Structure 1
């Protein structure tokens, strides 16, 4: 999470909007009640989104140099 108050507030607002496809998960997890499934997946989704957002914000992705060459046997 960000130390900046506006960023923290925006992040909390984003957490309020969680979309869960209940048809698939309720059939898959029939032993757990509807409310329990929704609650558990909302928490998992919110935590995963926060982890990914923090990770991608602090990393710089670089591929470097990519060389494309034909195989020695002439195939490929």
Structure 2
């Protein structure tokens, strides 16, 4: 299920945006159903965890670059 939701996360947000723009009455029912089933929070959690992991890699990369620069100065 994780693999399936990982690829459908952007589509979920696009679908919610379209529903918001068109002001469809069914929107509230669909969003409530997703919240009850946990799909929306699951997709948000996957998206935020991917962002967090990417930021950790960026920080790790900066630290490694500083270590390399510092060690080559001596």
TM bucket (normalised to shorter chain) is 0.3 to 0.5
TM-score, normalised via structure 1 length = 0.36
More RCO (CA 8 Å, sep 6+) = 2
- Higher share of residues assigned helix: 2
Query: Greater CA radius of gyration, 1 or 2?
Result: 1
